[in-house]
């Protein structure tokens, strides 16, 4: 399949997304360089611009949707964590300039007692963050907060009849109401979905093609029968992040029963298995009557990506884009993972191709 031009596609971006500099990921106790780097933004943006996409800034708008999805405590911590850390001595002693947790108040630790309101930054660092890979630094809040605004803007554009892609960074699909991790802080895709719900008429589908299960998005909508969450990802049971969630028997709860669909793939799965799974997700979204679509567009299932063992090709992503486009409803696409800088732009562009060109891809409502 030749490269499709992206003329007319709305790409919502902001320079603040490059100011999040996690600096590292602490993995099994070791400080590693990390793969969720600021250079990801330019790699994607430059490719999309070269193919004719229109760059747009975020719209004016408030945080009411963001605040309905995340707890006040998580938001307040993320907004102030870098300053509170810098006000301590951590950078000199023991030599840690980023917010990194070391203790986690799990349910097993608390044994049913309430979580105390604590003040020490090194204690608070594990209150809302559930892993050691998701570091907070001076530009983190600004970038995460702006990314949520990009996702909101893409949803507004989609509801108005124009397919839109939000170049979010940091990504968001691992962030739940009161817990963040997996290189994610605020759930951009959930913001897009809830924005669409408020602007539009019917149910919304969030279809997540990132190589990892979007446990945060799943958790946020698990009980709801107005937002369907469907995900294809590498089998967490085979040893892949987020490890504890993303299994096929997680199907939704209460009113949300049947409104969650996980399709885990074995290590090494390629285009055929991936596209079969995307087809299943789209079919369920159609059956549930989705009137809007949010795509959690991670491209880390690609063969060259360092963060997953899946082997999807660039033509595979183009075909996935076509399957998603065929749902034929207003669509906002939100960037999630994807870490192989040389191929990142082309993989995203391939997926977006089917959404470009037409005046009203996905159609106005
Ligand atoms: C948004 C997104 O894709 N988040 C996924 C984060 C998963 N990170 C797991 C990291 C596990 C250890 N990485 C070691 C690098 C091996 N190449
Ligand atoms: Zn991922």
Q: Residue 2, exposed/middle/buried by CB under 10 A (0-12, 13-18, 19+)?
A: exposed
Q: Alpha-carbon distance 34 to 32, whole Å?
A: 6
Looking at the structure, tell me whether residues 80 and 65 fall in a common domain.
no
Query: Which atom of ligand 1 lies closest to the CA of 173?
Result: 1
Q: What are phi and psi for residue 347, nearest 5 degrees?
A: -65, -45
**For the residues of 322-339, what is the DSSP string, one character each?**
HHHHTT-S-EEEEE----
How many domains does the chain fold into?
2
Q: Tokens 């033509």 appear where? A: 315
> pTM score, two decimals?
0.97
Looking at the structure, tell me whether residues 118 and 190 fall in a common domain.
no
Is the minimum distance from the CB of 298 to ligand 1 under 6 angstroms?
Answer: yes
Residue numbers in the chain where pLDDT is lower than 70: 1-2, 357-365
Looking at the structure, tell me whether residues 239 and 196 fall in a common domain.
yes
Looking at the structure, tell me whether residues 198 and 307 fall in a common domain.
yes
Tens-digit pLDDT profile for residues 271-328:
999 999 999 999 999 999 999 999 999 999 999 999 999 999 999 999 999 999 999 9
String of b and e for 296-325 (b: at least 16 CB within 10 Å)?
A: bbbbbbbbebebbbbbbbbebbbbbbbbbb
Looking at the structure, tell me whether residues 114 and 34 fall in a common domain.
no
Among all bound ligands, the one having the nearest atom to the CA of 183 is: 1
**Given this model, what pLDDT does residue 363 score?**
43
Q: Is residue 362 part of a domain?
A: no
Among all bound ligands, the one having the nearest atom to the CA of 240 is: 1
Looking at the structure, tell me whether residues 172 and 222 fall in a common domain.
yes
Q: Is residue 37 part of a domain?
A: yes
Query: Which atom of ligand 1 lies closest to the CA of 307?
Result: 17
Q: Is residue 3 part of a domain?
A: no
Last residue of a domain, one of 62, 95, 128: 128
Q: Is residue 18 part of a domain?
A: yes
**Given this model, what pLDDT does residue 209 score?**
99
The residue contributing the CA closest to ligand 1 atom 6 is 182
The residue contributing the CA closest to ligand 1 atom 9 is 241
Write out the residue range of the structural domain in which residue 60 sits.
Answer: 10-70+139-355
Looking at the structure, tell me whether residues 307 and 339 fall in a common domain.
yes
Last residue of a domain, one of 85, 106, 128: 128
Q: Alpha-carbon distance 353 to 52, whole Å?
A: 11
Candidate of 20, 31, 233, 241 to mutate for ligand 1, largest count of ligand atoms within 8 Å of Cβ:
241
**Given this model, what pLDDT does residue 1 score?**
58
Query: Which atom of ligand 1 lies closest to the CA of 172?
Result: 1
Q: Alpha-carbon distance 220 to 295, whole Å?
A: 16
Is the minimum distance from the CB of 185 to ligand 1 under 6 angstroms?
Answer: no
């Amino acid at each position: 399949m030749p490269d499709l031009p992206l003329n007319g596609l709305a790409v919502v971006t902001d320079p603040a997304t490059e100011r999040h500099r996690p600096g590292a990921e602490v993995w099994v106790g070791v400080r590693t360089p990390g793969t969720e780097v600021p250079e990801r933004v330019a790699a994607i943006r430059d490719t999309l611009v070269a193919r004719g996409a229109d760059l747009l800034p975020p719209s004016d708008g408030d945080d009411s949707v963001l605040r309905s999805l995340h707890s006040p405590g998580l938001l307040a911590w993320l907004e102030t964590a870098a300053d509170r850390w810098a006000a301590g001595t951590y950078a000199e002693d023991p030599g840690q300039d980023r917010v990194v947790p070391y203790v986690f108040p799990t349910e097993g630790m608390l044994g049913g007692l309430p979580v105390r309101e604590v003040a020490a930054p090194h204690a608070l660092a594990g209150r809302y963050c559930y892993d050691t890979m998701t570091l907070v630094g001076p530009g983190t809040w600004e970038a995460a907060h702006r990314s949520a605004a990009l996702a909101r803007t893409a949803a507004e554009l989609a509801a108005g009849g124009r397919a839109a892609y939000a170049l979010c960074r940091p990504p968001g699909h691992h962030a739940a109401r009161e817990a963040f991790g997996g290189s994610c802080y605020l759930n951009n895709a959930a913001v897009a979905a809830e924005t669409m719900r408020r602007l539009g008429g019917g149910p919304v589908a969030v279809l997540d093609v990132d190589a990892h299960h979007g446990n945060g998005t799943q958790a946020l909508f698990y009980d709801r029968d107005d937002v369907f969450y469907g995900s294809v990802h590498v089998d967490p049971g085979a040893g892949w992040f987020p490890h504890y969630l993303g299994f096929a028997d997680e199907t939704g709860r209460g009113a949300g029963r049947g409104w969650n669909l996980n399709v885990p793939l074995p290590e090494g799965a390629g285009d055929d298995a991936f596209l079969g799974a995307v087809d299943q997700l789209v079919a369920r979204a159609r059956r549930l009557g989705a009137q809007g679509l949010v795509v959690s567009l991670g491209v880390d299932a690609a063969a060259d990506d360092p963060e997953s063992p899946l082997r999807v090709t660039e033509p595979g992503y183009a075909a996935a884009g076509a399957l998603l486009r065929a749902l034929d409803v207003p669509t906002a696409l939100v960037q999630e993972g994807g870490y192989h800088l040389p191929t990142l732009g082309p993989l995203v562009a391939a997926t977006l191709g089917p959404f470009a060109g037409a005046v009203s891809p996905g159609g106005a409502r």
